[in-house]
Amino acid sequence: MTEQNFIPKPYTNSIQQGRYTWSSPSNIALVKYWGKKKDQIPENPSISFTLNNCKTTTTLSFSKKTDKEAFSFEVYLDGEKKESFKSKIETFFNRVEVYLPFLKAYHFKIETSNTFPHSSGIASSASGMSALALCLMSVEKALLGGSVIPSVVEESQAETYFIQKASFLARLGSGSACRSLEGDLVVWGKSEAIEGSSDLFGVKFPHQVHEVFKNYQDTILLVDKGEKVVSSTVGHNLMHGHPFAQERFKQADKNLKTITEILKSGDLDAFIALVESEALTLHAMMMTSMPYFILMKPNTLEIINKIWAFRKETGSKVCFTLDAGANVHVLYPENETNLVLNFIKDELVAFCQKGQYIVDKIGFGAQELSIYK
Ligand code: PMV
C-alpha cells in the first residue's frame, strides 16, 4: 500500500447531515517509537498493547455548508467548548484533506470525552485521534455509498481497508494513534519480522502469541498529572542529530524481532528485560538529547525500585514500562492479578499523586457506537 491508495474515488452520494460515534482506546508501547521523519513516518518500528478501559468516545456531527473555502468545526470536551484543541485539529485536517476531500464541504461538531481523568498525564492523543479518524471514515463510507475500497483493493479486504485508512489518518494526527484501532497487539513501522507491516499504518501482530500474554494486565500509576515539560513533538524532533539516534533505531528494530520470539515462547523473564530496557532507553534518549530533559519524577524511580525489590523477593513476573511522562505502567500476567494489586495497594500507592491509579488490561480496539446514531 502507498499513500496514493488512500485517495478516495469520487463520492457518489450527496449527504446533507449526519452523526457518527466511535470509541477508541489508548495503547502502551512495548518497543517504543521515538524519532520520526517527515509526515509522521517513524524512524523505527514499534509494537504496543492496546488498552481496554482508557478510551475516548467521540461523536462527530456534520452538516453541509455553502462554501468550501475553509475548515469549519467546533470541539467540545465533556460538554465544554475547547478552543485550545482547535489548532491541533486544524493541523490534522490540513494533513488529511487530500485523503478526505469532503472536509471543507461540511461544518463539524466534535464532541469528545475520555474515560480516564482529564489531565491525568495519560495522553489522550492516541485514543482521541483514532476515534476522530474513525468518525471521519464513517462519513466517507456514507459518501461512497457504503464501500470505501478503491479499485486496487479486493472486495474481501473492505473491512481491513477501512481500518487501515483510519489508522493511516490517525497516524497523521498523532503517530502512536495509528496503533489504537485494533488489538490486542499492534505493530507500526516496516519490519522484516512482521509480514504486512508498514510505516503508513498499524497492523495487528500477525504471529502466534503465548497464552500467558492473553489478558495481560496494566495498572497505570498516576505519579504526576501536570502538563508535560516537553511535548512529544519536540522530543521526537530532538532525535534529529542526536548522537545515539542511529544505534537506537537499530536497537528498536532488533528488539521488535526479539519480542516476536518472546511473544511466541512466553518467556516472561526475557519479556521483562526487553520491556523495561525499552522504557529506560526511551528516557535515556531524552536525557541525552540537546537540550536534555527529564520526564521521570523521584516517585517514578521509587516505584521502579520497589518493583525490582518485589520481583526479587517473590519471584513475581511484574514489570514496568513508561510513556513520555512520569506515570508508570505496571504490567503483569492475569494469574498474578491479586498478588500485584495487593502489592500496589500496600507499597506503591504512596508514590501516586493523590493515591490515584487506573486498573486496565489489554483490549481489542475501537468500536462504533451505533446507539448514538
Ligand atoms: O504519538 P506521539 O507522537 O505522541 O509519540 C508518542 C511516543 C511514545 O508514547 C513515547 C512511545 C510510543 O511508541 O507510544
DSSP string, 37-53: EGGGEESS-EEEEEEEE
Same domain, 230 and 197: no
Separation of alpha carbons 56 and 127, rounded Å = 5
Separation of alpha carbons 235 and 35, rounded Å = 8
Q: Which atom of ligand 1 is nearest to the CA of 174?
A: 1
CB of 125 closer than 6 A to ligand 1?
A: yes
Q: What percent of the chain has pLDDT over 70?
A: 98
Same domain, 203 and 216: no
The per-residue pLDDT for 373 is 47
Please check the confidence at residue 228 and state whether its pLDDT lies above 50. yes
The per-residue pLDDT for 5 is 94
Same domain, 229 and 123: no
Same domain, 218 and 262: yes
Same domain, 258 and 151: no
Same domain, 201 and 218: no
Same domain, 179 and 102: yes
Mean pLDDT of the chain: 95
CB of 77 closer than 6 A to ligand 1?
A: no
Quote the cell numbers at residue 42: 517513524
Does some domain include residue 217? yes
Does some domain include residue 373? no
CA 46 to ligand 1 center in whole angstroms: 10
Same domain, 56 and 167: yes
Q: What is the pLDDT of residues 88-112, one digit of tens each?
A: 999 999 999 999 999 999 999 999 9
Asked if residue 169 lies in contact with residue 133, where contact means CB atoms within 8 angstroms, the answer is yes
Asked if residue 63 lies in contact with residue 16, where contact means CB atoms within 8 angstroms, the answer is yes
Handedness of CA 150, 50, 36, 119 (dihedral sign): positive
Q: What is the pLDDT of residues 4-53, one digit of tens each?
A: 999 999 999 999 999 999 999 999 999 999 999 999 999 999 999 999 99
Same domain, 198 and 217: no
Same domain, 148 and 111: yes
The per-residue pLDDT for 33 is 98
Residue 151: pLDDT band (50, 70, 90) is: confident
Separation of alpha carbons 25 and 107, rounded Å = 26
Global pTM exceeds 0.85 = yes
- Domain extent, residue 52, equals 3-208+364-368
Does some domain include residue 32? yes
Same domain, 228 and 335: yes
What is the domain-level CATH number for residue 168?
A: 3.30.230.10
The per-residue pLDDT for 99 is 98
- Segment holding 322, helix H or strand E: strand 319-322
CB of 130 closer than 6 A to ligand 1?
A: no
In the chain, how many domains are there? 2
The per-residue pLDDT for 371 is 57
CB of 46 closer than 6 A to ligand 1?
A: yes
CA 176 to ligand 1 center in whole angstroms: 5
